[in-house]
Structure 1
Amino acid sequence: MTAPVFVVLSQSGFEVAAGARTVLPGAEIHGLAHRITGADKDFSSTLDHLTALFLAGTPIIGVFASGILIRALGPVLSNKRAEPPVLALAEDGSAVVPLLGGHHGANGIARQLAAALGIEPAITTAGDLNFGVALDEPPDGWHLANPEDAKPYTAALIAGAKVQLDGEAPWLRGSRLPFSPDAGLTLRVTERAEPGSDTRLVYHPPVLAVGVGCERGASADEVIGLVRETLTEAGLAEGAVAALCSIDVKMDEPAIHAAAAALGVPVRFFGAARLEEEAPRLANPSDLVFREVGCHGVAEGAALAASGGTLLVPKRKSARATCAIGLAPAPLNPADIGARRGRLSIVGIGPGSDGWRTPEADQWLTAATDLVGYHLYLDLLGDLAAGKRRHGYELGAEEARCRVALDLAAEGRDVALVSSGDAGIYAMATLVFELVEREGRADWARLDIAVTPGISALQAAAARVGAPLGHDFCTISLSDLLTPWPVIERRIKAAAEGDFVIAVYNPVSRRRTEQLPAMKAVLLEHRPATTPVIIARNLGRPGEAITVTTLADLDAADVDMLTLVMIGSSETRALRRGDGGTWVYTPRGYAAKHLDDKAL
């Protein structure tokens, strides 16, 4: 389930939400603009914001009167089974009421909040009140095959009908349901695909482990088709599958991940040595497979290793894939099965302020178990870093940071490597891919590595002063730590001759003070001394300062490593504002086009 959002309209409501959110990992607080201080996000229209969250499937906790939620969401209510949880939490924390989605997470959230606040949740759903269990909300991993029958079934129970349990389910046996051996209602627990009815609810426990092997590059359709055919022909329910499993050399095989996604289950992997331990129990051991991957069976071995039980369905084959199914003696927890594929999210957080960090970056940071980066960048994350393992470093040590991030991800963790600005612009993304290629480590190569963009310093500086990047531009770093100065100098001359607007990264440092004056001298040979120059320091952070000067007056003494310098082209213009400031823009030739259009 997506992390919930507290929607607050008052500062007192914010204080209650700030305390309560600690029991809901990843929860955000959205506050009404100009009323709330400290919210993760602001909004201006309460009704519009509530509607947008609801339609996006986001669980909502409104810290205000329930009537506001009812008026806002009434017009968009349609499908009971598709609606996200919606709760009302009193501004003083004295009451919490699940309004929608009670059996789809709202009741559970209410119980968590109530426990944190020291109150009783106001749960009104009949099943919970009468029997201590929500029949249409089984525990994680369990599936109700016929949820459409849960309402009439519960109504019959409330009217006095008795129920019998066919199968093992401690969460049902431990409830207050009126059990009787000759009851007219049945709760059936089985891994088999069986029909239900309004007098028979069918539950599938997570006791099946699907083992899969395939050739490199096998199509997703083939693997998905084989898995589903195997389950169907054996009369087994997809809802009883706890995980799809394979050998670790297939950790980056798209078809295997696609098959797991089609079933809605996690993927888990085993090393060849662990799979070979199951060799005596294989129905179809293969010497060919052993020579290729080091074990006598992938599909059957994975099914047995994951289930810890019996081989229910021996290996079935398609043209390029194999599938087998294991049956566990008790419900499985995927967290206890094999290894998961680790993820390395390379996240650009922009200048660091919340408003300049993308929603995708926030999502990836929220999902991460570990954060790696320069101490300052991790500090800038604020509440997003709460509850996560921090691996902070001093400025520099870039390769050490990347190695630690890759190693943690190789352990199966969800790691976020944090960069300021855009992670792909003079930042960490390049080094990650360089290390993966240079080291040739299989465990790194199999990782799920992804990059999300951030607002770069050049974009931030340009936005603050107008539109200096309106025409062709380039970026040049003056740091000669990794790039020899003669190479940098050649690029400066090329940019000068090409008349590009130039964004200058790493313009000076304590030991490097000559490069910026040298660059200035080259540029003065190709563009006017009056060319606008932007000096932007601490962009998006406290102490931000933007100065517009000229190329002739550019002084390295006004610049440090927290500064980006942007030097205009010969066409760049400075436009004085009425408030004494300056807009800077680089025209694209619209004026000439306008004259041509008039001539026509």
Structure 2
Amino acid sequence: MTQTPAIIILSDAALPMARRIARATGGEVHGLNRRITEVVDRTFTEAGPHLARLFSERRPIVGLMAAGALIRLLAPHLSDKMSEPPVIAVSEDGSAVVPLLGGHHGANDLARAIAAQVGGFAAVTTAGDVKFGVALDAPPEGYVLANADAAKQVMADLVAGKPARLEGAAPWLENSGLPFAADADLVLRVSEAGDAAPEQGLLYHPRTLVLGIGCERGADGEEVIQLALDTLKAAGLSEQAVGLVASIDVKADEAAVHQVARYFGCPARFFDAATLEAETPRLKNPSDVVFAEVGCHGVAEGAALAAAGASGELVAEKRKSKRATCAIGRAAAPFKLETLPGGARGKLMVVGIGPGADGWRSPEVSAMVSASTDLVGYSLYLDLLGPLADGKTRHDFDLGKEEARVHRAMELAGEGKSVALVCSGDAGIYAMATLVFELLDKSEGAEGLSDAARRIEIAVSPGISALQAAAARAGAPLGHDFCTISLSDLLTPWEDIQRRVTAAGEGDFVIAFYNPVSKKRRTQLAWARDKLLTYRPASTPVILATNLGREGELIRVVPLGSLDVDEVDMLTVVVVGSSNSTTVKTGDGRTWVYTPRGYARKEGTAMTHITSGDAA
């Protein structure tokens, strides 16, 4: 199970138990919006479609509801037993934890983990688990079943009383309740070799092999993959026994190395030159040329040995292709994600959480925050994440510390952590995404980024901007051309801001003003109002949107000519309509603002209409 579990609740009564389960499993709480009054990670309007979507995404589902209801909702979507995600029904008091689907794909283990956390009983019913305490078609982490199609018959034979013969070593099999006999016809084989599966039995590959990879910058990924496959074949080893790809840390951002890891379905880890140099006595092919270039006598063999550990060994010495090298090490035990050696390539996720309401936060952003180890951001923005921030290491910053905030996030990622840099609205609109790339683009220096921070993986996920939120709350003011202008002159000269306001006025754009005022800055918005009044009527609608998506939300519509700067604060977005924007009232008394797509000039503007045939 690699995806985040979704804990489904239909009322506030189930929320305390759902949060306990979320903490225990790293899951998200999803609540039925019309019955949930408290903040949860995600909300949905109808249970059936939401569960169907999660099921199609192969997300583990934990429903705090009756098992029958959960079964009926998912029944139309059942098709392939082998690809079904875990589905578990939990009573609201946690006393019963019932894996309904995906028992051998993580549901049984997840049910046991939940039961242990909440003091309930895991009602596991699959035959192998009940009789032998093991699921042969779902080996534990670190093992791969090579011939899954044979598992059903083998398990049936064992349940019927036939014994098995164990070839190789695997503690999870040895410590099970399986009946073993030295002369049994059924074979459970555990081997890293690329041999065929037994005629009667199962073949398990322990993921004990590590591919040590060295390559030139920009090497072709397909070339490196083929080199790895050739090296495994020459050594008589199965590619399914590969549990790790390893290299030197300066290759942490090398695309080919990560392409190899994706091909073999395993993580990539990296070691510094000093660690690899310590493996020199065990190298088969030490190289002074390599030492002169990167500071160690071997990258491929050194990385394979460093990852395999002191009790591991080199089982295939370095092979070369045109632009890469590969060696294979063997660890004493299968690799597991929580105890992998070396350092991971860090990841920086720059996320826009929208104006603040959890319903306006995208599923991708929620997933990124859930996957992070560290959160970096302005304290208010981190607080707005609610339970989604639980269990994360917070790095809070005050307003005005934007560059320090981004620098810290990138350095944390450089340490191998998964970091969410949290922005309000959209991460790329007057937010931190720009600074990330600006810091990468700056020259190196004493205050610049470390080499490790420059090798991180970066992902930017969009959010609903304050402009979009204000427009949606007020109607459809962005129906025609629009622009955004920040009135803050902290980073932009006031002369440039004046020029942009003038140009937007002449172009008759709908304008969204960000940072309209501050405690010390009260004149810019008044200047912009007066300037725009020379291009559009005093009756032009202006939207003042404050605390969007948060407690205290306030939406007002005033005429441009009556715009009072004292009615605007730092948490207000000001949207000024074009000369064609107008208002309409509905039967409930609400005033809506819209800008029609068709353009008919209002009377009273100072602009001159020019047709395509007129001379400018």
For the pair 1:557 / 2:560, whether they are aligned, the reply is: no
Partner of 2:17: 16
Distance (whole Å) between structure 2 residues aligned to residue 105 and residue 58 of structure 1: 11
- Structure 1 residues 288, 218: CA separation in 2 closer, same or farther (over 3 Å shift)? same
Distance (whole Å) between structure 1 residues aligned to residue 557 and residue 13 of structure 2: 43
Matched AA of 2:116? A
Match of 2:586 among 548, 553, 577: 577
Q: CA deviation at 1:44?
A: 3.8
Distance (whole Å) between structure 1 residues aligned to residue 580 and residue 356 of structure 2: 32
Q: Deviations over 1:507-527 (max 9, x none)?
A: 111110111111122212222
> Could you tell me whether the CA contact under 8 Å between 1:150 and 1:198 is conserved in 2?
no
3-state DSSP class of the match of 2:172? helix
3-state DSSP class of the match of 1:74? helix
Identity over aligned pairs, percent: 59
3-state DSSP class of the match of 2:203? strand
Number of aligned residue pairs: give it: 591
Q: CA deviation at 1:332?
A: 3.1
> Could you tell me whether the CA contact under 8 Å between 1:477 and 1:505 is conserved in 2?
yes
Partner of 1:387: 391
TM-score, normalising length: structure 1: 0.95
Distance (whole Å) between structure 2 residues aligned to residue 474 and residue 590 of structure 1: 17
Distance (whole Å) between structure 2 residues aligned to residue 89 and residue 536 of structure 1: 42
Partner of 1:329: 332
Partner of 1:313: 316
Q: CA deviation at 1:590?
A: 6.6
Distance (whole Å) between structure 2 residues aligned to residue 487 and residue 14 of structure 1: 51
Taking the TM superposition and a 5 Å limit, the aligned residue runs for 1:160-239 are 160-197=161-198, 199-239=200-240
Distance (whole Å) between structure 2 residues aligned to residue 198 and residue 45 of structure 1: 49
> Could you tell me whether the CA contact under 8 Å between 1:152 and 1:198 is conserved in 2?
no
Structure 2: which 5+ residue stretches go unaligned? 443-447, 602-616
Distance (whole Å) between structure 2 residues aligned to residue 524 and residue 118 of structure 1: 68
> Could you tell me whether the CA contact under 8 Å between 1:272 and 1:294 is conserved in 2?
yes
3-state DSSP class of the match of 2:587? coil
Partner of 2:553: 544
Distance (whole Å) between structure 2 residues aligned to residue 113 and residue 506 of structure 1: 47
Distance (whole Å) between structure 1 residues aligned to residue 437 and residue 49 of structure 2: 42
Distance (whole Å) between structure 2 residues aligned to residue 579 and residue 60 of structure 1: 41
Distance (whole Å) between structure 2 residues aligned to residue 197 and residue 62 of structure 1: 40
Matched AA of 1:471? H
3-state DSSP class of the match of 1:552? helix
3-state DSSP class of the match of 1:417? strand
Match of 2:492 among 477, 483, 486: 483
Match of 2:408 among 404, 423, 433: 404
Partner of 1:37: 37
Taking the TM superposition and a 5 Å limit, the aligned residue runs for 1:244-323 are 244-308=245-309, 309-323=312-326
Q: Deviations over 1:338-388 (max 9, x none)?
A: 110000111110101011111110010000000011111111001100111
Partner of 1:596: none
Match of 1:492 among 495, 501, 504: 501
Distance (whole Å) between structure 2 residues aligned to residue 179 and residue 336 of structure 1: 32
> Could you tell me whether the CA contact under 8 Å between 2:187 and 2:198 is conserved in 1?
no
> Could you tell me whether the CA contact under 8 Å between 1:370 and 1:390 is conserved in 2?
yes
Taking the TM superposition and a 5 Å limit, the aligned residue runs for 1:3-82 are 3-25=4-26, 27-38=27-38, 39-82=40-83
Distance (whole Å) between structure 2 residues aligned to residue 470 and residue 73 of structure 1: 40
Matched AA of 1:117? V
TM-score, normalising length: structure 2: 0.92
Partner of 1:107: 108
Partner of 1:598: none
> Could you tell me whether the CA contact under 8 Å between 1:307 and 1:332 is conserved in 2?
no
Range moving further from structure 2, 580-589 or 471-480? 580-589
3-state DSSP class of the match of 1:226? helix
Partner of 2:613: none
Structure 1: which 5+ residue stretches go unaligned? 593-600
Q: CA deviation at 1:199?
A: 2.8
Distance (whole Å) between structure 2 residues aligned to residue 130 and residue 166 of structure 1: 22
- Structure 1 residues 3, 314: CA separation in 2 closer, same or farther (over 3 Å shift)? same
Match of 2:465 among 449, 456, 460: 456
> Could you tell me whether the CA contact under 8 Å between 2:141 and 2:336 is conserved in 1?
no
> Could you tell me whether the CA contact under 8 Å between 2:212 and 2:301 is conserved in 1?
yes
Q: CA deviation at 1:589?
A: 1.9
Distance (whole Å) between structure 1 residues aligned to residue 110 and residue 333 of structure 2: 27
Q: Deviations over 1:167-222 (max 9, x none)?
A: 22122211222222222222222111222246322221121110111222222221
Q: Deviations over 1:526-576 (max 9, x none)?
A: 222222111111111111111111111111100110001111222222223
> Could you tell me whether the CA contact under 8 Å between 2:313 and 2:330 is conserved in 1?
yes
- Structure 1 residues 406, 187: CA separation in 2 closer, same or farther (over 3 Å shift)? same
- Structure 1 residues 317, 200: CA separation in 2 closer, same or farther (over 3 Å shift)? same
> Could you tell me whether the CA contact under 8 Å between 2:163 and 2:186 is conserved in 1?
yes
Q: Deviations over 1:219-238 (max 9, x none)?
A: 22212222122222322112
Match of 1:372 among 372, 376, 398: 376
Matched AA of 2:332? P
3-state DSSP class of the match of 2:108? helix
Q: CA deviation at 1:266?
A: 0.2
Q: Deviations over 1:126-156 (max 9, x none)?
A: 1111112222222212111112212211111
Distance (whole Å) between structure 1 residues aligned to residue 508 and residue 206 of structure 2: 68
Distance (whole Å) between structure 2 residues aligned to residue 116 and residue 329 of structure 1: 32
Distance (whole Å) between structure 2 residues aligned to residue 590 and residue 571 of structure 1: 7
Range moving further from structure 2, 481-490 or 194-203? 194-203
> Could you tell me whether the CA contact under 8 Å between 2:580 and 2:600 is conserved in 1?
no
For the pair 1:466 / 2:475, whether they are aligned, the reply is: yes
Partner of 1:588: 597
For the pair 1:505 / 2:532, whether they are aligned, the reply is: no
Distance (whole Å) between structure 1 residues aligned to residue 401 and residue 473 of structure 2: 31
Partner of 2:605: none
Q: Deviations over 1:55-74 (max 9, x none)?
A: 22111222222222333333
Taking the TM superposition and a 5 Å limit, the aligned residue runs for 1:141-160 are 141-160=142-161
Partner of 1:127: 128
Q: CA deviation at 1:33?
A: 4.1
Distance (whole Å) between structure 2 residues aligned to residue 410 and residue 365 of structure 1: 18
- Structure 1 residues 132, 440: CA separation in 2 closer, same or farther (over 3 Å shift)? closer
Range moving further from structure 2, 468-477 or 101-110? 468-477
- Structure 1 residues 208, 490: CA separation in 2 closer, same or farther (over 3 Å shift)? same
